[in-house]
Each structure stands twice: as structure tokens, then as C-alpha cells.
Amino acid sequence: MNREEFANLLKKIKEIHERGGSPEKLDEFLRSYANRNVYLFNDACIKKILACQENIPLVEDLVNAALNLRGSDCIENPSLSNPYIPGELGIKSVEPDILLRKTHPVFCGTKPPDDVISVEFQHNGGSIFSDRLMLYVARHTSRMVAPGDTGPLDNLNLISFQLFDTYPWEVCRDYRYTIKMRTQNNLVYYNKQTITLVEVKKFLEHGDYFRDDDSRLAQWLRVIDALNNEDEAAFEKYADDPIFQTLQKSVKLCNFDCGYLIKESKRMTDIAYEKYVAAEEGRAEGRAVGLAEGRAEGLAEGSAARSRKTAKAMLLAHEPEEKIVAYTGLSIEEIRQIK
């Protein structure tokens, strides 16, 4: 399913559950969707698929593709620091979507630093997105040493797959960026912390420009897009790849129990779900456009009203204030007044 289809499915599941629908009724409803694919970029779905022990080869392959590692440089057999726990969704905005650690053996009496790999899937940017990434880096770094200790630190790779552009197409015609701490002479000062940005939206929107890119990362992005859109013809090219075969089996909705989907529907973490909530409210008031359309057409008054209603829904879902700021454009003071 694409983002909107999956959001609408979660909405229906939530409605059935709130009307007192039995587990049997929910199972009956979901049966017709059993062979459909979930939306891979949904936080709960991607965590269940990639952050589980049996699918370690998948996340390992994806990480090496994103970091552009080949041969002996590849990260092999990492351990999951925050594995998927059946029935649990984790704490949004505190845990990374996927956290891996590769421990290296002692060599000549010296213990090499471990490799810590944090993988995030982001739908929305906003003015504070770079602040959030730096906050994530600081959190991971602070956990590497005991209080009062000064290191040495482990290697940190933070990978952000994002459904928005950090650098507009007119500015840079690339979709993967490696960010390190450098001097004004472009000399690397600290080589143990790296942020990798993968602009999924840019890659997909400019597919013709990147058609000759057959890197492993490009293959992953095309496969995920094909599975999200259930485009069998687009997936056929990669059907014989064992990694992508496993991925194709893992994304089927029949692998997700209704209890898990009910929890995700209550969280309303996906902006597409938020869009449906806003659209329903707009229709109730005689409006024909949703949150995104209202912003695009410059309907400032209607947009502000929808932003306040969206903020209220997100507060009820216990979303953090910084995320509500990013999604609605409201100030912290306005959000606290609503709260």
C-alpha cells in the first residue's frame, strides 16, 4: 500500500475498535487485505520487518548500501540494540527506529571501537530537523561512556532515510550525503561520527535522471517503492535477489496481527493519518480541502484552524511538543495553550 492507503486502513481499524468490534471482527476485516503490502516507511512496520533477528541480513544489506560500503569494509553480523518486541511499538522520539552495534575483537591487546549504527525513517523535515539529528548524535555519544569518563568513543553512523529534500533539486542533483565534522579547509577533524542523509523523495521524483544508477542503495529505494505501490512489474527485475525476496514476504499484511495495528492506529504517528483526520474535520465544516491542500493554496485562516485541530489530536496521542511544532508550524506557546 502507499502511504495514504495504509493511513486509511489504520483509520478504519481504529473506528472498528472504538465501536467495540471484537478481535474476530477485526480479523475478518483484515482478511481481505492479507496479501496486500504494508507501507514500508511507516515507523511500526519498518521496525517489525528490519529490527528482528531473522531479518538481520536485510538491515545489514540496507546499512551497507546506505554507507556505500563494499567488500571487506562492509559491516557484518551486527547485533540489534533495540530489537522488535512482539506487540510493542517502542517509545516514539526517544528510541531510534533501528539501532545496531558491531563489536570488534581485541587485536594485539587493543580493543578497537565498536560501530554504532542508528537508522531513522523521517517523513517531515521542518526548520528544526537538523537540530533533531544533532540531538540524536549527542544522545548516542553520551551513552558511549560512563559519567565522568572521557572516552575513547565508539564509531557512530546515523543514517536518515527521509521523504523530503534537505537540498533542493536546483541546488544539488544528488540524493545521498555524507556529513562529517570538518575545518574551513574541508579537512576532517573528527572521523568517528558520520551522518548520512538519503533523500528518498528526490530519488523517486527524478527517476529518469538516476536511471543509470544501479548502486545497491538505488536498488533498495526502487524495490521499496515498488512494494509500497504493489507494482509487480517494477519489482520483477529484482525478484531473484534473495534479500529482496525475503523483504517481499515480510511486507505482507498477514504478518501483522490486529493488536499491533490497533496500537499503531492509536498513535497516529504518520502525517498521512493526520491528513485524513484533518480532512474529516474539514468536511464536517463544509470544507473540501485537507490540511496539505489548504497550505498549498495559501488559505491562511483555514490552515491555522486545521493546524490547531491537528495539534490537539497529536497532543491526545501524546506526541512530543517538538514534533507538533514541526508538523503544524505552531509555536510552543500556542501548543501549550491548546494543551
Residues of the chain with pLDDT under 70: 85-95, 268-303
Q: Model pTM?
A: 0.77
CA geometry: angle 19, 261, 250, nearest 5 deg:
150
pLDDT value at position 94?
52
pLDDT value at position 268?
54
Round to whole Å and give the CA distance between 180 and 22. Answer: 52
Helices 56-66 and 43-50 meet at what angle, rounded to 10?
Answer: 110
Structure-block grid coordinates of residue 145: 561512556
